[in-house]
Structure 1
Amino acid sequence: MRPVFAKILGLFVITGLLSSCAATSLVDSWHPPDLANRKYHKLLVSSIVKSSNTRKVYEDVIAAELKQSGIEAAASYLLMPKDEPVSQQTLEKAVKESGADGVLSIQTTMVEKRTNVQPGYIDNYPGYWYPPAFPYWDMYGYYGATTFYEPPTMVMYNVATIQVNLFDAESGKLIWAGTLETSEPGKVVTVSKDIARIIIQALRREGLT
């Protein structure tokens, strides 16, 4: 393999690593063993985050994606003060006003830095081919065989752990819980859409919608 081709290949490998890390995925989930055949028709989406703007984006995007899939949803920031801590009273009031039968909470619980190392490698380049009738010292521009070393490549990225819980609005019981991971926590809109997709798939799989 020629050195220039090997370097290009290395760039493709690194790009592939970054792309594979970009997805938001469900890493763990739970529901009570005695989960009743309860269907939820409207969910109140509540994002637990310090920034009111980030909260608005999370709730708006997730609620919109749920609606598009046929699940009624409402953003909690429209019914509760944006800059005040959520209390049980304000939450109960918001649930009543929204007419929701389930409360969906989303919270980033941890952000950690991870490292992905692509091992280095050694490769040989045999040089240009030339006809045997011509000795190499008469060939202008001929280069002999070479050996080159590509050092290991280290890719560092952030991974956020996101906890998603579905509570029954009437009893307050936890109905479903999921732990998600994303490597691009700063892309709020993209992550919100991914979270909504995972939630929709999980709730349908468990027969909750």
Structure 2
Amino acid sequence: MKRIAGFLFLLLLGCSDAELVSSWKNPDIVLFDASKVLVVGMTPNPEARQEFETRMVARFEQQGVEAMGSIDLFDVNFTLSARSEAELDDVEQSLLDKDFDAILFTKILGSETRQTLARKLSDLERGNGRFKDDYLSHQNIYYDDAYYDKFTVYIVETSLYCICVGKERELIWRGVLEVPDPIEAEQTMDEYIDLVVSAMEAEELIFRSGDRSQP
């Protein structure tokens, strides 16, 4: 089951009918720029994680923003078991010490029905205001073989967090994309990234209209 769940991260991003179904921006933020971004793709499959993070990092670098994938930063054993709040505090401090100022965090969510999806989106707007809370709430994606058993319709969520000095690790933006009936993954993963980049660009978050290079 773990292998199937891991490959879903690639397969789900491979649907050409993906669409943004929810977008939320912190009302206290007008513009947000970052100089160094950590890209986190939460999936139990390391090949899928590497593929997604590499492609997203490339898009930031096209924008002139330094970026790194979590697979190149986290210890090899870090995602093999549950981590505590204290351990996530240490991670965040380590990121600050390495001059990171933002985290782009992507994970797969799911629902059985449209009605359940609506409830899930409503719940998302109420919680997980900090990166470590979001990570702690969903970290079993990495190691729980049964995580995906309960879902038949999948959605993907991407969140942008500020890890700036003097601020809580606050949520800047969250986008939720619906991805029905996975098809081919490799040729269409960039379409998902395009949607995320376009949504951030529209909100004037890191990406700016007219400054983005073509992949």
Which TM-score band applies after superposition, normalised by the shorter structure? 0.5 to 0.7
Q: CA deviation at 1:205?
A: 1.3
TM-score (norm 2): 0.58
Instruction: Name the counterpart of 1:37.
Output: 31
Instruction: Name the counterpart of 1:56.
Output: 50
Question: Which one scores higher on RCO, CA 8 angstroms, separation ≥ 6?
Answer: 2
Contact 1:22 1:184 in 2 (8 A): no
How many pairs were matched up? 146
Instruction: Name the counterpart of 1:153.
Output: none
Letter in 2 for 1:182: V
Instruction: Name the counterpart of 2:10.
Output: none
Q: Which has the higher strand share?
A: 1
Instruction: Name the counterpart of 2:69.
Output: 75
Q: CA deviation at 1:88?
A: 0.7
Identity %, equivalent residues: 25
Bigger mean CA deviation after superposition, 186-195 or 39-48: 186-195
Instruction: Name the counterpart of 2:21.
Output: 27
Q: CA deviation at 1:32?
A: 1.8
RMSD (Å) for aligned C-alpha atoms = 2.8
Aligned counterparts of 2:104 and 2:35: Cα–Cα separation in 1: 12
Contact 1:52 1:83 in 2 (8 A): no
Runs of 4+ in 1 over 4 A off after TM superposition: 111-114, 184-188
* Structure 2 residues not aligned, in runs of 5+: 1-14, 115-151, 207-215
Q: Which has the larger radius of gyration?
A: 1
Q: CA deviation at 1:69?
A: 3.7
Aligned counterparts of 1:28 and 1:199: Cα–Cα separation in 2: 11
User: Which of 152, 156, 174 is matched with 1:177 structurally?
Assistant: 174
CA distance 1:178–1:36, shift in 2 (3 Å): same
Q: CA deviation at 1:23?
A: 2.3
* Structure 1 residues not aligned, in runs of 5+: 1-20, 115-157
TM-score (norm 1): 0.59
